[in-house]
Structures are given as structure tokens and as C-alpha cells.
Amino acid sequence: MQTMSKHPTPQASSHAEGETPEPMSPPAGGSIALAAVGQAMTRMRLLIGRRFIGRMALKRMGTGLELSDIDAIGVIKRIGSQEEATVGLIAEQMRIDPSRGSRIVADLVRQGLLERAASQQDGRRSLLRVTAAGRDVVEQIEAIKRETITEATAGWSDEEIETFARLYMRFTEGLEAKFVRFEEDETR
């Protein structure tokens, strides 16, 4: 029989205080632990879909920015050192129409959070870079994210946090590899 850690199961935290959650039974051919991971993934997807960290950050920062603005800056920050960041690439990464990507970028340039530069590879192409003001916004959002993670892991030992970080990264890398294979299979 599989055992779970001393920490509450994902379902335990979704019930009102004092209520007893229904016991989790393993799916056919699976384990209770893997079922718990699946439930946690569903709950995390819902939290990510609600964009609560980004919304909370924007509210606390009091800027006129929108979630799509911080997404665009984040794309440039993430890919800028690996490849040239263009409006088209931002739109592709954000899975939005290029015209919408262009409007978001133009607004961020007007606000001084992004700047345009000529491509070293093709002078006709306009590249995007995060300005110092844009980096400040990213740093504020990252600080709020770290604060949120710190609050979510309050009471955890350093060893538990290190183990979780290592395993969560490994799990995410495994999912990303599966996603790449899935996308390759879809294009065949």
C-alpha cells in the first residue's frame, strides 16, 4: 500500500476547516500518489488560469499595465538572450494574433518598458528589448512571486523546499519533453 507524506493531501486543503475529505482511492492500475499529483495538477492549472499572481502583482504595483503586457515583457526576458525578440515571435509565444501583439508592443514602447532596435542579422527587422524601467517591473513581479511562494511554503523545512524545487523542476522538464513529442507527432 502506498503512503502519503505527513502533509495534507491536495483535497484536504480544499475542504472547509473541520470537514473530513473523502478518502482518495487509487485509479484502476494507478497509485494514490499519482492520483494526488493529477489532482494537484488540475488545481494548479485552475490557479494559473485565474492568473492570481499576475493580477495580485498588478494590483499591488498600481500600474496601468495589463496581464498581456507582463506576458509580453516576460517573453522577451525569457527568449531575448537565445534569439531575436520580434513582435511576431511574441505573438507566437503568447498565442495571440500578430496585430494584437503589435498593439501590445507599441503600448509598452510608449510607456518606456520596451525599446526597438535594428537586428544585427537583418537591418530591416525591428527587435525588442526590455528597458531599465521594464526590468524594474519584472523585478517587482518576481519579488511578489517569491513572496507568494514563501507564504505557500511557510512551515516547510529548508530540506523540504529544496526537495520540492528539485522534483518540481524535474517533473516540469518531463512534461515539457512530453509536450515537444506531442507537438512533433501532431505535425506529422
User: Please, what are the domains in the chain?
Assistant: 64-135 (1.10.10.10)
CA 177 – CA 162 distance, rounded (Å):
23
- Among 89, 170, 169, 172, which residue's Cα sits nearest to residue 128? 89
25 band by pLDDT with thresholds 50, 70 and 90: low
pLDDT band for position 175 (50/70/90)? very high
Inform me whether the pLDDT recorded for 101 exceeds 50: yes
Q: What is the DSSP string of 72-114?
A: HHHHHHHHTTTS---HHHHHHHHT--HHHHHHHHHHHHHTTSE
171: pLDDT strictly greater than 80: yes
The pLDDT tens digits of the residues spanning 125-169 come to: 788 989 999 999 989 999 999 999 999 999 999 999 999 999 999
* Banded model confidence at residue 4, pLDDT cuts 50, 70, 90: very low
Mean pLDDT computed over every residue of the chain: 83
Q: What is the pLDDT of residue 22?
A: 54
Distance (Å) of CA 40 to CA 27, 110, 118, 134: 15, 40, 45, 33
Tell me the mean pLDDT in the region 38-65: 88
**Mean pLDDT to the nearest integer, 44-51:** 86
- pLDDT of residue 81 exceeding 70: no
**H/E element holding 25?**
none
Mean pLDDT value of segment 9-37: 61
**Residues 87, 91, 94: CA angle, nearest 5 degrees:** 135
Mean pLDDT computed over 118-125:
70
Q: What global pTM score does this model have?
A: 0.69
Local confidence band at 49 (pLDDT 50, 70, 90 cut-offs): confident
- Residue in the block written with cell 513582435: 87
Say whether pLDDT at 27 is over 70: no
Q: What is the DSSP letter of 31?
A: -
Give the model's pLDDT for residue 160: 97
Give the pLDDT confidence score for residue 177 in this predicted structure: 94
